[in-house]
A = this chain, B = another copy of it.
């Protein structure tokens, strides 16, 4: 699944802020560089916890700028706080384990093709789409095989 061909494509978040005419501040540098270190999806809270030197409001504000700039994707988690993940240039979708919440990525060209054919059926302009596949990930499957008491 993890496509090795997907190099670090423009994962330069502070640059995305520059492009919006925002100043380069130490708080923003701290936030963006921390995000770049996290390979996984993260929550705003998590970032606040990991960056005690940066105010909560600033973390939230910086995340919002990055989302607005299209550098991060915000993915809604039905249970609680949304997660964010770096928006690599290549469009992708997410897998979410419904047990442990682990987030993965995948790409599938067919999905894009389907979008095009959907255009005809939909009343308005398509400006984007989101697709999440809910899975039970392999580790959770393994865990349930040992713990299950048989329904």
Binding site for B on A (CB under 8 A): 1, 74, 76-78, 82, 95, 97-98, 104, 106, 108, 110-111, 114-115, 117-118, 121-138, 140-141
Contact = CB atoms under 8 A, between A and B. Distances in A.
Copies of the protein in its oligomer: 2
A131 B97 CA distance: 16
B135 A118 contact: no
B78 A76 contact: yes
Given A130-B131, A134-B130, A106 B122 contact: yes
Contacts of A95: 122-124
Nearest to A94: B130
A123 B110 CA distance: 18
A82 B78 contact: yes
A132 B130 CA distance: 5
A82 B115 CA distance: 24
Given A106-B118, A121-B106, A121-B108, A128 B98 contact: yes
